[in-house]
Structure 1
Amino acid sequence: MKQPKVNRLRRMVTFGAAMALLAGTAIGMATPAMAQMEKRFSIPEETSLTPTPGGRINMLIRLDVQTLDPHVTSDTSGFLIVEQIYESLLETTMDGLQPALAESWEISEDGKTYTFKLRQNAKFHSGNPVTSADVKYSIERIQNPATASPRARSYSNITSIETPDDHTVVFNLNAPNAPFLTLLSTYGASIVDRTVIEGTGLNQTTDAGSGAFKLREHVVGQRVVLDKHTEYWREGQPYLDGIDITWNPDDNARAAAIRSGTVDFLWFAAPEFIDALKTDPAVKWFGGSGSLSLHFRMNTSRKPWDDVRVRQAVFYALDRQEILDIANSGHGTVLNAGYLPPDRWGSVKEPIYGAPDIEKAKALLAEAGYPDGFETNLLVISTSAFQVRSAEVEQYQLANVGIKVNLQLAESTVANAAIRANDFDIYQSGFSMTLDPDERFSSAFATGGGLNYGNWSDPEYDALIEKARTELDRDAREKLYQEAETILATRGPVGMTWASASYDVLANKVMGYNGDAGLSFRFYRNLWLQQ
């Protein structure tokens, strides 16, 4: 993988290092794997300038958001926009967990009671104060099956929530929960204005958030317009008057837009344009690591994917480096083991798969009763160029072992409806990597998880995830996740392929980029325009 330049760095950190910070572990010298994931977060001469308030920026992303309900959204566009609108009790930064709507917290000695003190100057966009009743309502809304939150399982051990006064919230758990504070810092645990939800509800012009920006409008298929929250509790922020967000799946058009000055912020530029954009004096880039883990999911409730030998044949047939090279111009990390790349905490460090083993794959198919292979359909979002490229490579790689793959290209809304209805054979997919492994491992792979499309179930895997959640020793907990990752890699429902390397490209006048999108997008409140 070609490495980004690291000159003019004020600060460098790896996601693996950030994860260790979250776990309270001291960071020493970066490992070679970590060094491959270095990111540029700011430019020194910019950080010495005094931010100028005012102005709006135009941001260009790839796809429209599916929903702006923070407790339901699971797509990356939703992640981006929801984090501008909503806040959580805590916030995750490169320096670890920080206070947000909660200004302080205490944990009981037995690890089963968490008491949060809310700040008294936080207001929702409606003008209502943020209270303990809103916190209780928000978390119980996530737990409520009617909400269909994909993350509900992560909050299942909360037995009760008490609100002794307007600014005190007490969570009672049935067992210690190692990732609990991290979970409460994510957008999935956003605190919502209960009066709005129970009144008008969320719509294209109304949100229930308290974040740095509020929703003015969401014109489906066209734009999202965000305005400054003038009563935001962080004094003087946000600096911008607003953010205007549009989208275009055409990678060429998006690169042309930032180079021509049509937009100010190109979010997650396509990798094939990165080298050229880095040399353009009119723009500046930030990035080099990513937050997206790519795979294709096999529907284990359908034949032949219910047979572990068939899935294993696929695992051995894949050339993951070739998929990365063609799909993402080599920018990223091959996933030769589980869901997490090897520099992330909780990952399997040594490869389980290397070069394709075609003979072993064919032998497994024959053993499963498919000596001549079989035919199947691979569902792909048509407007996602790198996903389509991944699918095309996988198509010809699987043909090498006798599996004929028909590509089914569909718009994102159609594809998402199909997977939720369990109407697919294989689905080309990817998930953002969460701050703590529990959130994704529980929602995407555990029995009954909200994102466990195809309904894979493995009792041993489930038991490991449950045990890891209550294990407070960091090293012991990591070993449990590594065991779970090994199960995913050897008999799970997904063919892991590669983890992204993402880049943001900004016009030179946009200042204040000082965060890590692999952790959170909430640092956009720090952006400002040089006049």
Structure 2
Amino acid sequence: MIFFRKSRFLLLVTQELSRKYTFPLLMGFVLGFVGMVGFRRLSPRIATEIAIPTVRVGLVGDVNPSSLPISIQELISQGLSRLGPDGSPQSGLATRWEATDSGRTYEFTIAENAKWHGGTGVIAADINYHIRDVTFTVTSPYSLRATLKEPFAPFLTLVSKPILQTGLKGMGRYRVSQVRLKGEAVQFLRLDPVIARSEPVREYRFYRTEIAAATAFTLGDVDVLEDVSSPGTFSDWKNASVSASPRFDRVVAVYFNTKDPILGEKTFRQALGFAIPDFGQERAFSPIAKTSWGYTDAVKKYDSDPIIAKKLLTQAKVASSSASLTITTFSQYIDIAQKIASAWTALGVPTSVQSVNQIGQFQVLLSAQPIPADPDQYPLWHSTQTTTNLTGYVNVKIDKLLEDGRKEQDQEKRKKIYIDFAKRLVEDAPAIFLYNPTTYTVTRKK
């Protein structure tokens, strides 16, 4: 009887609540049903999105949207040309080109099927290069003329730079989906493949120092560190792999101030070159990249040889007993500089080392420099280039070779010019080229 009364009471309460809250209960049921159906339909899509692989990369450097690493720019877009492994220009957005008027005029025909990430077709009027002493003229929707003030053989290298619209919009296989700035510096960049799920999403985080980048890897903020100068302790990690590769687009060298009374003599500079020890990295013998079509190995090689160094020093007009040198360098090269200073001191030329934050006046400079893709070295060694010719080097024959190399359009003839240039420059030794620096990629194992 008691059970029956309780059941009847609950039934009455339920009926009263149902009558009073019919509409809210009905809406709750409908919304719940719709939500369940929607979730079942969306769940495969959500699972797919979650499953899209993402590569999270840490890079060191302060970059703004217009100075992104070229490797990233080439994912986002392309230039009129592109550079092959040896630096030779190849077809890019331009399917063909023709140089006339001794290299003063270039006629480009661009691909008609190229599209911007927004979906509109790429036309000649979209090309937005700003190159000094070069005028671009649209001759048809898919034709473009470049008129140069003077012949400039490396011109096709300049137009290999990927073309980007405002907002980092390009025509490459990746599009920029997110960018975060701090001031003008890029802190975070996300690239999504234009064809969904055809390639991994790529996320880049930029750090000011290698220590900060390594910390981010340790904390799990990134899974790859690219282009770091040292693997640090990651070589010992069981869940990380480290790969090393020489950077043939950079060279570490000793640059002599040829205006200095002590360093103006070639024989003395050569003696110093032969006294430098080997550093166990990829040897560099020339200012031109080993991978370049203009490279030659047939140059004087300053292999470490104290006997030859001593012999040359005795032949030098400079009195080594009164000569002393200071090597100026940056913090990352202090150890290398100290080894060179010790070798020169042992040779009989007392040498000290000073660390700086930027290049100023120097006797000897130990530094890394980028190697241009084209073998043209005019800014670095021509006597008129007082700002970029760090050594103050003056050589009439070198000047003429550099001038001819810029004018000559035939690549084989240019190669002969740069072979002659490299032989003469290395023999004269305004700089001793040491090595192509090794950089490391650290990858977290899955």
Specify the alignment match of 2:313 in structure 1: 362
Question: Matched residues in 1 for 2:50 and 2:362: separation?
Answer: 51
The DSSP-based 3-state class of the residue aligned with 2:425 is helix
Specify the alignment match of 2:209 in structure 1: 248
The DSSP-based 3-state class of the residue aligned with 1:398 is helix
Specify the alignment match of 1:516 in structure 2: none
Aligned length: 389
159, 172, 179: which one aligns with 1:184: 159
Question: Matched residues in 2 for 1:476 and 1:428: separation?
Answer: 33
Asked whether the 8 Å contact 2:63–2:185 carries over to 1, the reply is no
Asked whether the 8 Å contact 2:179–2:186 carries over to 1, the reply is no
The DSSP-based 3-state class of the residue aligned with 2:130 is helix
Calculate the TM-score normalised by the size of structure 1: 0.60
The DSSP-based 3-state class of the residue aligned with 1:162 is strand
Specify the alignment match of 1:452 in structure 2: 389
The worse-fitting range, judged by mean Cα deviation, of 487-496 and 449-458 is: 449-458
296, 300, 305: which one aligns with 2:258: 300
Q: Deviations over 1:171-226 (max 9, x none)?
A: 245787654434432x4xx5465xx6xxxxxxxxx769777465834448996322
Deviation at 1:301, TM superposition (A): 4.0
Q: Can you give the 5+ residue segments of structure 1 that lack an aligned partner in the other structure?
A: 1-50, 71-76, 144-157, 197-205, 325-329, 510-531
Question: Matched residues in 1 for 2:286 and 2:440: separation?
Answer: 24
The DSSP-based 3-state class of the residue aligned with 1:373 is coil
Deviation at 1:373, TM superposition (A): 1.6
Question: Matched residues in 2 for 1:312 and 1:259: separation?
Answer: 46
225, 247, 251: which one aligns with 1:290: 247
56, 59, 63: which one aligns with 2:57: 59
Q: Can you give the 5+ residue segments of structure 2 that lack an aligned partner in the other structure?
A: 1-48
Letter in 1 for 2:131: I
Higher Rg of the two aligned structures: 2
The worse-fitting range, judged by mean Cα deviation, of 427-436 and 441-450 is: 441-450
Asked whether the 8 Å contact 1:222–1:247 carries over to 2, the reply is no
Calculate the TM-score normalised by the size of structure 2: 0.69
The DSSP-based 3-state class of the residue aligned with 1:242 is strand
Structure 2 residue 64 is matched with structure 1 residue 105: no
Deviation at 1:168, TM superposition (A): 2.6
Specify the alignment match of 1:138 in structure 2: 130
Change (3 A) 1:98 1:486: closer
Question: Matched residues in 2 for 1:179 and 1:69: separation?
Answer: 22
Q: Deviations over 1:124-171 (max 9, x none)?
A: 89x99866456464223xx5xxxxxxxxxxxxxx5x432224543212
Q: Deviations over 1:465-504 (max 9, x none)?
A: 2323444555543332222112221224322111234332
Change (3 A) 1:118 1:59: same
Change (3 A) 1:129 1:473: closer
Question: Matched residues in 2 for 1:85 and 1:456: separation?
Answer: 40
Deviation at 1:244, TM superposition (A): 1.6
Letter in 2 for 1:311: R
Asked whether the 8 Å contact 1:226–1:243 carries over to 2, the reply is yes
Q: Deviations over 1:391-432 (max 9, x none)?
A: 12112122123333332223xxx31xxx3xx53333221223
Change (3 A) 1:105 1:481: same
Change (3 A) 1:139 1:86: farther
Question: Matched residues in 2 for 1:59 and 1:65: separation?
Answer: 15
Asked whether the 8 Å contact 1:445–1:456 carries over to 2, the reply is yes
Question: Matched residues in 1 for 2:120 and 2:201: separation?
Answer: 23
Asked whether the 8 Å contact 1:116–1:170 carries over to 2, the reply is yes
**Greater RCO, 1 or 2 (C-alpha within 8 Å, sep 6+):** 1
Aligned positions of 1:63-462 closer than 5 A: 64-65=61-62, 69-70=66-67, 87-94=78-85, 98-100=90-92, 102-108=93-99, 112=103, 113-119=105-111, 121-123=114-116, 132=124, 135=127, 137-140=129-132, 160-165=135-140, 167-173=142-148, 179-185=154-160, 187=161, 190-191=162-163, 193=165, 212=174, 214=176, 216-219=179-182, 224-228=187-191, 239-240=200-201, 242-250=203-211, 258=217, 261-270=220-229, 277=235, 282-291=239-248, 292-319=250-277, 321=278, 324=279, 330=280, 332-335=281-284, 337-340=285-288, 345=293, 346-349=295-298, 351-356=300-305, 357-365=308-316, 367-376=317-326, 378-382=327-331, 384=332, 387-410=333-356, 414-415=357-358, 419=359, 422-438=360-376, 441-449=377-385, 451-462=388-399
Change (3 A) 1:135 1:304: farther
Letter in 1 for 2:191: K
Asked whether the 8 Å contact 1:294–1:429 carries over to 2, the reply is yes
Question: Matched residues in 2 for 1:237 and 1:91: separation?
Answer: 23
Asked whether the 8 Å contact 1:65–1:78 carries over to 2, the reply is no
Letter in 2 for 1:349: A
Change (3 A) 1:445 1:133: farther
Change (3 A) 1:139 1:485: same
Question: Matched residues in 1 for 2:131 and 2:120: separation?
Answer: 18
Deviation at 1:280, TM superposition (A): 5.7
Name whichever structure is richer in strand by fraction: 2
Asked whether the 8 Å contact 2:81–2:156 carries over to 1, the reply is yes
Question: Matched residues in 2 for 1:208 and 1:460: separation?
Answer: 46
Asked whether the 8 Å contact 2:256–2:431 carries over to 1, the reply is yes
Question: Matched residues in 2 for 1:52 and 1:451: separation?
Answer: 50
Question: Matched residues in 2 for 1:53 and 1:310: separation?
Answer: 64
The DSSP-based 3-state class of the residue aligned with 2:405 is helix
Change (3 A) 1:108 1:482: closer
Letter in 2 for 1:264: D
Asked whether the 8 Å contact 2:78–2:170 carries over to 1, the reply is yes
Letter in 1 for 2:347: V
Asked whether the 8 Å contact 1:59–1:266 carries over to 2, the reply is yes
Q: Deviations over 1:16-75 (max 9, x none)?
A: xxxxxxxxxxxxxxxxxxxxxxxxxxxxxxxxxxx999565443344x2376654xxxxx
Letter in 2 for 1:304: I
Deviation at 1:288, TM superposition (A): 3.4
Question: Matched residues in 2 for 1:222 and 1:296: separation?
Answer: 32
Q: Deviations over 1:254-282 (max 9, x none)?
A: 667657745311113446769x74x8663
